[in-house]
């Protein structure tokens, strides 16, 4: 009787070898694309893209997520797989990877809809962002989770640029924009120049000094200004009488 088990095992070995070659090729392409993206982001050292797990941590950091989430997800998936809940960590890590890709895409001048390509063909998404003419712009709106202590990135690594949204924390008292109507206190010995038509408000209980009534000693006197209205001429003398006076009455006899 012919035993074909050897042929069956041969197919399994051949299939495993092909899958191993595909996995190696996929890892090489993924690392190459990540290296190009890291260069756009200003990451120093291309070797970071070739280290397994660590390259994902750098990707998370550029995507405004805590890089330690990668270790939590990988560790939970491995350690808890024997009780059946390791898949939960794997799914959580996949969702966080999509969020990181969304943030990295925004910084590479891609619309949010581009993250759909990452979900279905991540290697194509990486290749486009690696070799297109897009430029890295970290000054985008902070991530919705930037203030979350668990999800937000607070880690500082030498050689990996710190994203602005990662270091932005709550405003400290006494800092930030001045409230409306606020004026800084005047410096000692400094008086601001007077504005035209502006008079400083009077302080309670304060009376400004009166202006001097006469010029200071030694100052030249100013001649009086002549009146601008001419004076009236003198009145004319009365006219002489036109009728001669009557004769005097004779005295009585």
CA quadruple 174, 180, 184, 190: dihedral, nearest 10: 180
**Can you tell me the mean pLDDT for 178-185?**
50
Of the given ranges (41-50, 75-84, 88-97, 177-186), which has the lowest mean pLDDT? 177-186
Place 169 in a pLDDT band, splitting at 50, 70 and 90.
very low
Beta bridge partners of 65: 152
Give the relative orientation of helices 86-107 and 54-62 as an angle to the nearest 10 degrees: 50
Tokens standing for 201?
């408000």
Residue 217 has pLDDT above 80, yes or no: no
Give DSSP secondary structure letters for 175-212.
-SSPPTT--PPPPTT--PPPPTT--PPPPTT--PPPPP
* 161 contacts 43 by C-beta, under 8 angstroms: yes
pLDDT tens digits, 53-106:
999 999 999 999 999 999 999 999 999 888 888 899 999 999 999 999 999 999
Flag whether pLDDT at 124 surpasses 90.
yes
Distances (CA, A) of 182 to 34, 120, 175, 178: 49, 54, 13, 6
Q: Using alpha carbons, list the distances in angstroms from residue 30 to 56, 75, 119, 207.
A: 11, 22, 15, 80
């Amino acid at each position: 009787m012919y035993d074909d088990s050897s042929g069956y095992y041969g197919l399994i070995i051949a299939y495993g070898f092909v899958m191993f070659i595909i996995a190696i090729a996929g890892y090489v392409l993924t690392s190459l694309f990540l290296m190009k993206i890291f260069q756009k982001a200003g990451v120093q050292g291309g070797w970071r893209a070739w280290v397994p797990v660590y390259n994902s941590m750098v990707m998370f950091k550029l995507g405004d997520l805590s890089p330690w989430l990668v270790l939590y997800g990988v560790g939970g998936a491995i350690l808890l797989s024997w009780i059946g809940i390791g898949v939960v960590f794997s799914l959580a890590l996949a969702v966080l990877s999509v969020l990181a890709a969304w943030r990295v895409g925004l910084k590479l001048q891609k619309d949010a809809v581009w993250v759909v390509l990452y979900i279905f063909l991540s290697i194509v998404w990486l290749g486009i962002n690696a070799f297109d003419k897009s430029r890295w712009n970290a000054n985008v709106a902070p991530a919705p989770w930037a203030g979350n202590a668990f999800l937000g990135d607070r880690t500082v690594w030498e050689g990996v640029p710190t994203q602005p949204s990662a270091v932005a924390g709550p405003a400290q008292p006494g800092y930030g924009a001045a409230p409306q109507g606020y004026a800084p206190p005047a410096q000692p010995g400094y008086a601001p120049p007077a504005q035209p038509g502006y008079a400083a408000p009077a302080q309670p209980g304060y009376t400004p000094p009166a202006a001097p009534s006469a010029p200071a000693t030694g100052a030249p006197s100013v001649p009086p200004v002549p009146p601008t209205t001419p004076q009236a001429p003198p009145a004319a003398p009365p006219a002489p009488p036109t009728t001669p006076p009557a004769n005097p009455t004779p005295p009585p006899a």
